Structure 1
Amino acid sequence: MAEVVFGPVLILGGYGSVGSRTARALRQLHPELPLVIAGRDTAKAEALAAELGHAISAPLDLERDDLGLPADLEPAVVLTAVRDLSLRTQNWAAAQGAAYIALSDGVFEIGPAIAGFIRQPKAAPVVLLGHSMGSVPALAALHAASDFERIEAIEVGLVFDPADPLGLASQEDMERIGAIGPAPLVRSQGLWRWIGAPQTERSFTGIDGRTHQGATVGLVDVFSLSASAAKSVRVDFAEGQTASTLRGEKPSHEVIIEIAGQRKDGREGRFRWELVDLDGYAALSAKGIAVVIEGLFGLAGKPRPTSGLHLPETLVDTGHLMRRLAGFGIVMRET
């Protein structure tokens, strides 16, 4: 993004765990990209803006229709790294003609954002990005799936290390989804189903051969995975020590992708890929979000959108994601 004509990216809650990491990932990818770090604590916002360079800080008040932001602020993209139950953030972005990214909505929560888009479908792109890890696992699975002629099932397992705690916003999201959400949604044998125990439970093998006991959750990853035409898709979370922790290193985040079907070279069976971010879950999330933001500028292998309701796979070519991950030192390997 070498040209300033693309306009700034406004990160609401930009100094939080995921917001600040996303800002740093964007700065690594695009040193000249203008950034606006907005939050209630102006001192924290100013400090991060100064660290990043080519960035400014702004106040944020979610109780106001104008969000308390400067009247002359004209962002190209608005990233909501805070929870906004009023959707004032989406309304404000639409009024500015700015693309809007909704980060924390579970499967059962996307209705208000969709309704907001329906009322103003041509205002600007709206991206549903309530995926795990900024959609990296889903897009990585779709990349692997592109080598298949026929797919019976895609199963993604994520290992959260207790030594790599969730940020406050992420923790609140997971607690909310677990407390008030319905049974998780999966695609099973070609049908969308809300499932309960014991169908929600699944064990899978981590990168070091240990078995993790996981459970599926109600995230929108399943919508993106269904782009593969797989008959069955699900994503399961497990908590446990990652291989890096057991080696005496810092905690990491492990992504296990398993696909059953027939590959284009004729091989049939169940195939497996592994992806590890040694910097943990929040860092992987930030990298995925940064790549989706690239997609909104037409820099991720697909045309730049001017409007529309989007999932990340409509904005990001999966090969572009793999190249970006490699640049961050992350390689998906088939095992």
Structure 2
Amino acid sequence: MGQRGSVLLLGGAGQAGSDTAALLRRRYPELPLTIAGRNQDRARRVADELGGATAVTVDLARGDLGLPAGRPYAAVVATLWDSRLNGLRFAQDHGVPYVSLSSGMIDIAPEVTAAAQRPVAAPVLMASHWAAGVITLTALAWAEEFNRVDTIRIGAILDEHDAGGPAGLADLERWAEVTSAGYARRDGVFGWVGAAEARVELPSLDGTTVTGQTVPILDVTSLSLATGAPNVEFAFAIGESAGTRRGDGPSVEVRIDLEGEGPTGAPLRLSRYVVHPDGQRPLTSLGLAMGIERLLGLRGEAVAPGLYTPEALLEPRHAVEQLADAGTVFVDA
């Protein structure tokens, strides 16, 4: 396969980690995987289910992560918050790619600084976007229908029973404690949106509305700079999903609205939902898996050292195709 060592999944026994590992195993049966967690029994169960995987106990408070010396790794993937950045430092010390999922816009400054200080040490992929970047990639794919994009609005409804495991819930609580303000680009200016102004009503596919708010998330900056759109915002709500209301279980719905100028010069609008009946987990694991395979050169060339976001590495149309293959449905609003 061209790469050496194993893909080290920090938090690999959690929801995002185990789902990503399972997807990688289906795509690359011979790819070595290491499931790293604080609980050896849980990590072992996940590794045994995957087959051909290794389970290790990890200590994120240690610079060496508590791992045996001399064991080669191909990449380090933090599927939980790497609060001390020891996972990133470990990857840099070993010259292998690093992927982060849980930093969020409010926590990326140390990560960006660490990558900037050692720019030739390793490729660093910041994937703290919604679902590890697949929604941004989908919006970029649909934006290709426009000559000019003026406005991008995204509204994601997450079912209250699909907020993730302990690590995911801890992320949501941490972000909520830091700020209740949103972040958006308006008339070309990036800025914070006060808590009261940030509150919005998000329409579900079945016509029900859920109260949410504009949030500070990396999708805003990625979409703004990739398209040049002067107006970009991302709103998020937790509540009862349409799938739950139908009795089918928690689903996830993300509405993407684009406005601008079409190929003929006439005004063009597009409003479409990204829906998965199994909730957000298949979307997040797909985003992570695509990032990992790109970094390792399993699709395309291996990535040189540097700091990256998903849209800098992944092709939007390919992401939409992969989402469809994973059971995602796209519905015109």
Q: Do both proteins adopt the same fold according to a TM-score greater than 0.5, normalized to the shorter chain? A: yes
User: Is 1:247 aligned to residue 237 of structure 2?
Assistant: no
Aligned pair count reads: 332
Structure 1 runs of 4+ off > 6 angstroms? none
CA shift, 1:25, in A, is 1.6
Which position in structure 2 is the counterpart of 1:52? 50
CA shift, 1:164, in A, is 2.2
Aligned 8 A contact 2:275 2:331 in 1: no
SS in 1 for 2:195: coil
Aligned 8 A contact 1:108 1:182 in 2: no
Which position in structure 2 is the counterpart of 1:89? 87
Residues 93-136 of structure 1: per-residue CA shift (max 9 Å, x gap): 10111111121112221111111112211011011111111112
1:117 to 101, 115, 118: 115
2:304 to 306, 309, 317: 306
CA distance in 2, matches of 1:144, 1:156: 13
CA shift, 1:23, in A, is 0.9
CA shift, 1:90, in A, is 0.8
1:322 to 317, 320, 323: 320
CA shift, 1:204, in A, is 3.0
User: Where does the alignment leave 5 or more consecutive residues of structure 2 unmatched?
Assistant: none
CA distance in 2, matches of 1:74, 1:186: 42
Aligned 8 A contact 1:14 1:81 in 2: yes
CA distance in 2, matches of 1:21, 1:235: 25
Which position in structure 2 is the counterpart of 1:222? 220
Residues 28-69 of structure 1: per-residue CA shift (max 9 Å, x gap): 222222111011111111111111123111120122211011
Residues 171-210 of structure 1: pairs in structure 2 closer than 5 A: 171-181=169-179, 183-210=181-208
CA distance in 2, matches of 1:132, 1:273: 17
User: Where does the alignment leave 5 or more consecutive residues of structure 1 unmatched?
Assistant: none
Residues 100-111 of structure 1: pairs in structure 2 closer than 5 A: 100-111=98-109
User: Is 1:278 aligned to residue 307 of structure 2?
Assistant: no
TM-score by length of 1: 0.94
Q: For structure 1, which segment, 192-201 or 85-94, has the greater mean C-alpha deviation from structure 2 after superposition?
A: 192-201
Aligned 8 A contact 1:275 1:333 in 2: yes
User: Is 1:296 aligned to residue 295 of structure 2?
Assistant: yes
Pairwise CA RMSD: 1.7
Letter in 2 for 1:148: F
2:209 to 208, 211, 218: 211
SS in 2 for 1:332: strand
Q: For structure 1, which segment, 274-283 or 176-185, has the greater mean C-alpha deviation from structure 2 after superposition?
A: 176-185
Aligned 8 A contact 2:134 2:283 in 1: yes
CA distance in 2, matches of 1:6, 1:278: 37
Residues 266-321 of structure 1: per-residue CA shift (max 9 Å, x gap): 44243111111111122321111111112213445x64312110000011001111
Which position in structure 2 is the counterpart of 1:130? 128
Aligned 8 A contact 1:177 1:218 in 2: no
User: Is 1:236 aligned to residue 230 of structure 2?
Assistant: no
Letter in 2 for 1:228: T
1:67 to 65, 68, 83: 65
CA distance in 1, matches of 2:61, 2:162: 32
CA shift, 1:233, in A, is 1.0
Aligned 8 A contact 1:107 1:185 in 2: no
CA distance in 2, matches of 1:186, 1:257: 15
Aligned 8 A contact 1:14 1:45 in 2: yes
Residues 147-162 of structure 1: pairs in structure 2 closer than 5 A: 147-162=145-160
CA distance in 2, matches of 1:123, 1:47: 33
CA distance in 2, matches of 1:255, 1:271: 14
Aligned identity (percent) is 38
CA distance in 2, matches of 1:223, 1:48: 35
CA shift, 1:265, in A, is 4.5
Residues 137-166 of structure 1: per-residue CA shift (max 9 Å, x gap): 111111111211111111111111123243
Q: For structure 1, which segment, 85-94 or 280-289, has the greater mean C-alpha deviation from structure 2 after superposition?
A: 280-289
Which position in structure 1 is the counterpart of 2:78? 80
Aligned 8 A contact 2:146 2:268 in 1: no
